[in-house]
Amino acid sequence: MQMANELARKGEVICTLCQKPLMIHGCYQRQIKDEEGNCQYGWVAQGHCSACHKYPSLIPNFIMPYKHYEAAVIESVIMESEAGRNVEMLSDCAADASTMRRWIRQFKERGALAVGWLISLLFTVYEWHISILELQNKELLKQLAQLLQAYSVPASGTIIGKVNIILTRYNCGFL
């Protein structure tokens, strides 16, 4: 919460809808599960935009919107799936097989959109071109990792978390 307040004071937290500075309105508690299924609780700051009157949540990059498990756990399952492992063989993750299959299915749908959004943003915002041939025959996570190299994102964190930072910054959605 302190970090969110500090960033807001510096004007570094902006509304994704109207690009005006956000003020921190409050926070709420959020449940987060690790790989073993252990629940931890963390705080998520909530902003307020006085220009468009929205109250967006400032979700940290280690959490995925609308998911209970950490982004690193979900990304690990997706990596294993892209490597050809069956979800029933993933004994490392406490999530149900049906939950992991849903993560994989949603990532395939949203990941393909995210690749397109990142390519489009590179062109429209940064006037930078990337050849689709460079991404051809690569798994989605590898395509996203390659595209992230062109953006200024934190060095640490998951691929999914970094992509979500960019997508939400430009109001393109999230993975």
Beta bridge partner(s), residue 57: 46
The 10s digit of each residue's pLDDT in 70-119 is: 999 999 999 999 999 988 887 788 999 999 999 999 999 999 999 999 99
How many CB atoms are located within 10 Å of the residue 158 CB?
Answer: 19
Residue 47, helix vs strand vs coil: strand
Say how far apart CA 108 and CA 99 lie, in whole Å. Answer: 14
Q: Write down the domain spans for the chain.
A: 1-58, 62-175
The 10s digit of each residue's pLDDT in 31-82 is: 999 999 999 998 999 999 999 999 988 888 899 989 999 999 999 999 999 9
Q: Give me the DSSP letters along 103-135.
A: HHHHHHHHHHHHHHHHHHHHHHTT-----GGGT
How many CB atoms are located within 10 Å of the residue 33 CB?
Answer: 17
Say how far apart CA 62 and CA 45 lie, in whole Å. Answer: 14
Rg (alpha carbons) of the chain, rounded to whole number: 17
